[in-house]
Structure 1
Amino acid sequence: MRLTRQTNYAIRILMYLAAKPDRLSRLGEIAKSYSAPEPFMFKILQPLVAAGMVETVRGRGGGIRLARDASDINLREVVELTEEGFSMAECFESGSDCPLIHSCELNSALREALNAFLSTLGRFTIADLTKNKAYLHRTLGIDSEIAA
C-alpha cells in the first residue's frame, strides 16, 4: 500500500505546526520548508481545518495552528481523512463482479491486513512524530526560541 502525496503532506503540515505549538504559522512558510507548491498545500489544509485538526486565525498577524493537542491527533485519523479509499484489490470496490466475492480468502486476508495497518497507525500521534523539536526546527528552517 502506498499513501498519496496528499496524505504525506497533510502529516507534514501537522508536524510543522506541532513543532511550534506556541505560535501561528503561515501556509507559505510551511510550503517553502517542504519545497511544495502553496496552492497544493492549501488544498490539503482545507480538510484538516474541516476535521478540526487545524484552525485558522484571520486578520493581520493571523495564520494557522493545531486546533487540538498533537497527542490527540493520531495517524489513522489523518490517513482516513486524506485517503480516498482503501481498495487493495478490485474485489474491495462496490459492484465487483468477482464470483468469489463472498467466499474468497484473498479478500479476508487483505481486509485483515488493512485493519492491522490502520490499527497500528492509530497507536501513533503527531506528538510521537515531533518529539525531537530541535531537529525539526533545524531541518525545516523554523526560527524559534522553543527548540527543545
Structure 2
Amino acid sequence: MRLTLQANYAVRTLLYCAANPDKPSKVPEIAATYGISETHLFKVMKILVDNGFIKTLRGRNGGILLAQPADEMSLGAVIRAAEENFYLSDCFDPGKRDCPLITSCEFNRVLYEALAAFFDVLDSYTIADIARNRQNLRSLLSLEVPAHPMLEAADLS
C-alpha cells in the first residue's frame, strides 16, 4: 500500500501549521518549503478546509491556521480525508467484484483485517504527536524562532 502525494502533502501542511502556531502560515512559503506547486497545495488545502482541519484568513496578513487543536486531529482522520479510496485489491472496489470467490475468500478477509490494523495505528496518533519536536521542525522548515520562548514549551493544543 502506498499513500498518495495528496495525503503526504496534507500531513506536511498540518505539520507546518503546527510548527508555526503563533501566526498564519503563508501558502507560497509552504509550497516553496516542500517544493510543490501552489496550485497543488490549494487542492490539498480545500480538502483540509472542507474537513475542518485548517481555516483560512484572507488579506495581507492572512494565511492558514489549524482549525482545531493539533492534539485533537487524528492522523487516521487526515489520511481518510485526503485519500480517495483504500482498495487493497479489486475485491475492495464495488465496481470490480467479478471474482467467483468474493463471498468466501479468506484473502479478502485478511486484507480487511490488515486495513483495519493500519487505521488503528494511525488513529492512535495525532498531529501533535508527530509535531512534538517543534524546535527541530521550525529549523527544518526555516521558520523564525517564536517571539516568546515560552511558546516553544507550550503544548501543541
Q: What's the counterpart of residue 131 of structure 2?
A: 130
Match of 1:55, SS state, is strand
Question: Is residue 2:8 matched to residue 1:5?
Answer: no
Residue identity over aligned pairs, in percent, reads: 45
- The amino acid of 1:2's aligned partner reads R
User: Cα offset for 1:5?
Assistant: 0.3
Gapped regions of structure 2 (runs ≥ 5):
153-157
- The amino acid of 1:127's aligned partner reads A
- The amino acid of 1:8's aligned partner reads N
Q: What's the counterpart of residue 94 of structure 2?
A: 94
1: distance between equivalents of 2:49 and 2:145? 24
Gapped regions of structure 1 (runs ≥ 5):
none
- The amino acid of 1:123's aligned partner reads S
Match of 1:56, SS state, is strand
User: Cα offset for 1:63?
Assistant: 1.1
- The amino acid of 2:132's aligned partner reads K
1: distance between equivalents of 2:58 and 2:125? 31
What is the RMSD of the two structures over their aligned residues, measured on CA atoms?
1.1
1: distance between equivalents of 2:66 and 2:93? 34
- The amino acid of 1:135's aligned partner reads N
1: distance between equivalents of 2:5 and 2:145? 28
- The amino acid of 1:70's aligned partner reads A
Q: What's the counterpart of residue 118 of structure 1?
A: 119
User: Cα offset for 1:144?
Assistant: 2.5
After TM superposition, the structure 1 stretch with the greater mean CA deviation from structure 2, 136-145 or 2-11, is 136-145
- Cα deviations by residue, 1:54-112 (Å, 9 ceiling, x for unpaired): 00111221111000000011111011101111110111111311111010000000000
Aligned residues: 148
1: distance between equivalents of 2:63 and 2:129? 24
Q: What's the counterpart of residue 139 of structure 1?
A: 140
Question: Is residue 2:58 matched to residue 1:55?
Answer: no
Q: What's the counterpart of residue 106 of structure 2?
A: 105
Q: What's the counterpart of residue 25 of structure 2?
A: 25
Match of 2:44, SS state, is helix
- Normalised to the residue count of structure 2, the TM-score between the two structures is 0.91
Match of 2:55, SS state, is strand
1: distance between equivalents of 2:94 and 2:25? 41
1: distance between equivalents of 2:28 and 2:59? 16
Match of 1:81, SS state, is helix
